[in-house]
Structure 1
Amino acid sequence: MTTMKDVASAAGVSTATVSRVLAGHAAVKPETARRVHDAASSLGYVLNPLARSLRQQRSPVWALVIADIGNPFLTQVARGVEDVARTAGYSVLLCNTDEDPEKEDGYIAIADQYRVAGLLITPTSTRAAVDGLLARGVPVVAMDRPLGSSASDTVLIDSRRAAREAVTGLVDAGRRRVACITGPRRVFTAEERVLGYREALQDSGVEVDEDLVHYAGFNEAGGRAAAQALLDAGPVDGVLVANSLMAVGVLGVVRERGLRAPEDVEIVAFDDAPWTSLLAPSVRVIHQPAYALGRSAAELLLDRLEQPGREARTVMLTATLDPTPTPASTPASSKDPTTT
């Protein structure tokens, strides 16, 4: 029976390269991919994850554990994972934790019971209970947020840098009371965005007022509650918001208070949901490569399945910011944002 090793030998490449080509890995050179496909065709080799899984006593299924399927960012991440998995012959078991550590623990246990071939996860914290899976040789890939284990592969987006760039732009445009509305304290990305926010203010010579930093749920209700508390306490002329769902809540409160966005309050939010273009210019967007994050994570998992002994890798992707913010309007900025 023809094996992947036979194909690799015929094509003059490694078995890992054969796996990547047959899984549709975009980073392989076209000439290399052609040699692999030609070799596989001539030898009659077909990628068979089921047979491989039976040898490993694992099912041809990946568990995808994500924090909130209602978040458009994570929906795109899931799509990137699923596209790679399907091409490679795997099915995906989708598990939604709602940012609940207990639900997360339950789904990880279920994944182990189902003897999945691998786990991809956006963990609720670095303490997610994946050690048992790793000890049994099940590969784990952390997405968007790292795990405490050094044995798992990781794909992150440099949101700290993006937050720093966004807040620096707000200050350069004349905004002086810039707030930050972010997610729960235990979540890595929530804290990274606060760190970028603080660094930008410090680098710009603006005093950091911790009263302008609000932690809330990563959803519209969380953004709304945080914005109400923020504006009840005093005026602001710029806000960095941790995701697009929160931004909807923030924008709603800003408009209810009789303020104009972006003239009175410039809102910059992470994530470009399909509908964020309808909010322009009210909300500027920090675009995160969600689909690429999912694909990269899935490709790391495929690599790990072919090379279980290799060292863990971390991939860092880049977020990009919309064009220059709107200059602050002095008369509009003097309005009392607590007035309904």
Structure 2
Amino acid sequence: MPRLVDVAEAAQVSVATVSRALNNSRSVDPVLADRVRAAAAKLRYQPNAIARNLRRRGTRVWALVITNINNPFYTALARGVEEAASELGFSVLLYNTEEDEARERRYLDVAAQERVAGAVVVPRANNSEVSSLLAAGIPVVVVDRRLDRGGDFVTAASFEGAVTATEHLLHEQWRRPACISRPADTPTAEQRRQGYQAVVDRHGLPSVVCQIPFHAEEGVAMVDELLDGQEPPDSFLTVDSMLALVVLHALRHRRLRTGRDVGLISFDDAAWAQAVEPPLSVVAQPAYEIGVAAARLLSERICGSFDETGPRTVTMSTTLIVRGSSRRPPSSHG
């Protein structure tokens, strides 16, 4: 069976020219196009319809690689990417890695093989490997967690948000705040831990950090261990809403109430944050808007409408929303 390369050799043109000519691209000189079609007819060349359709479909499809669809932040982010992509004429394939390195690597390779037009990636760690996409010439926009190798990046001001949240706890007269974080190789969580650390260091307070792995069933037990200490924390900053649930479970077992016995503030304004009693104080991130911004950056890269070749960074502000969980009763002040 004749191949594309055989047609190119017979027509004395490049393989790329053959591909463009057979797909009726206007960029091919009509004389060359006629020569290619004549060579293809003579050799009885039949293009691979399945592969061709995949390539054509891929030009209007993006990959969206996220780490945990159960996390409300990523749910809102995905909605922002998908709705913006749809307005731009693209469809989105969602890949959920569940914070698993092997699964992430496999999905990135699949996206490269499918020749998607572009990819929005929330990496598992700062050393996550996107080389398969870059080697295929696929534009990549990284969201939430920066990669060591750079690239277009959209995020929220995590360090600043953690500073504001920790200062708020101290303003409410909580004096032993703890930070419930994720593993140190999670860039966003590490920035939030550093923001917490900067504040307690500035005030000369002890640093209490508990790093809970993703999907760790022992998370509640780890918080319990902190509460069992000789000088247990009187308040908590959690770096994501999933960890806020872990703390709430630990406090419920001890019949401790937020805003009365213990202070609690979390990143991300999850849908349930106002349903708990008292409502949860949060550092809100514009997750949907982050997704929209990532989609627009990617579209500009694909269309070549952005003049600069260097990586771009978009950092969006966070918003402190104070509710009952972090307020301390007036009688407890001092």
**Aligned amino acid, residue 194 of structure 2:** L
Match of 2:204 among 200, 203, 206: 206
Partners of 1:161 and 1:222 lie apart in 2 by 29
Structure 1, unpaired ranges of 5+: 1-50, 334-340
Aligned residue for 2:194? 195
* Alpha-carbon contact 2:61-2:93 (below 8 Å) kept: yes
Partners of 1:219 and 1:160 lie apart in 2 by 24
In the TM superposition, 1:1-340 aligns within 5 A as: 58-150=58-150, 152-203=151-202, 205-209=203-207, 212-218=208-214, 221=217, 223-234=219-230, 235-307=232-304, 310-323=309-322, 325-327=326-328
**Aligned amino acid, residue 67 of structure 2:** A
Cα pair distance change 1:193/1:262, threshold 3 Å: same
Partners of 1:187 and 1:263 lie apart in 2 by 32
CA positional deviation for 1:175: 1.1
Partners of 2:136 and 2:90 lie apart in 1 by 20
TM-score (norm 1): 0.76
Cα deviation, 1:178-236, whole Å, max 9, x if unaligned, reads: 10001122100111111000111122x23333xx2001134684652432222122422
Partners of 1:295 and 1:222 lie apart in 2 by 36
3-state DSSP of counterpart to 2:94: strand
Q: Which has the larger radius of gyration?
A: 2
Partners of 2:172 and 2:321 lie apart in 1 by 14
Cα pair distance change 1:113/1:222, threshold 3 Å: farther
Cα pair distance change 1:231/1:290, threshold 3 Å: same
Cα pair distance change 1:95/1:225, threshold 3 Å: farther
Aligned residue for 1:43? none
Partners of 2:198 and 2:206 lie apart in 1 by 9
CA positional deviation for 1:54: 6.1
3-state DSSP of counterpart to 2:275: helix
Cα pair distance change 1:179/1:330, threshold 3 Å: farther
Q: How many residues align?
A: 277
CA positional deviation for 1:255: 2.0
Structure 1 window deviating more from structure 2 (116-125 vs 213-222): it is 213-222
Structure 2, unpaired ranges of 5+: 1-51
State the identity as a percent. 39
Cα pair distance change 1:315/1:282, threshold 3 Å: same
Partners of 1:220 and 1:269 lie apart in 2 by 18
Partners of 2:222 and 2:180 lie apart in 1 by 7
Cα deviation, 1:260-316, whole Å, max 9, x if unaligned, reads: 211111000111111111125352111110000100101000010112763210000
Partners of 1:118 and 1:256 lie apart in 2 by 47
Cα pair distance change 1:175/1:219, threshold 3 Å: farther
Structure 1 window deviating more from structure 2 (322-331 vs 112-121): it is 322-331
CA positional deviation for 1:246: 1.4
* Alpha-carbon contact 1:220-1:249 (below 8 Å) kept: no
Aligned residue for 2:10? none
3-state DSSP of counterpart to 2:160: helix
3-state DSSP of counterpart to 2:185: coil
Partners of 2:236 and 2:328 lie apart in 1 by 14
Cα pair distance change 1:248/1:127, threshold 3 Å: same
Cα deviation, 1:86-124, whole Å, max 9, x if unaligned, reads: 111211110011111111000000001101111111101
